[in-house]
Structure 1
């Protein structure tokens, strides 16, 4: 499809997001697009963390500062 907005619009229907009004359809499509963007951002962050070697939280040690 030449229009990416049209692609997301179709994806909302494929996933069963049917509505009776165009406003509701647009609202649900916007929610779907936002959710996809969040998932992509999480994947990028996770990939960046794994490639830098800081993906394992168990290897980090958090110590309380000593109080004299």
Structure 2
């Protein structure tokens, strides 16, 4: 007899996944910070090598003296 065909009865609650300990969270955050530092280092390096483009056209800047 399959489990689905049984009549309703007492069910066990679904166990929660184990919570990460402080060490595991600290390790994950340290690795994430290292990845972000590497990402910034690469972005700066590429920015120094990529020629700058003209700014995209947009609305004209409003001058502080042009208030009417």
Measured against the shorter chain, the TM-score band is: 0.3 to 0.5
Select the structure that is richer in helix.
Answer: 1
Structure with more contact order per residue of length (Cα contacts < 8 Å, sep ≥ 6): 1
Larger Rg: 2
| Superposition TM-score, scaled by structure 1 size | 0.46
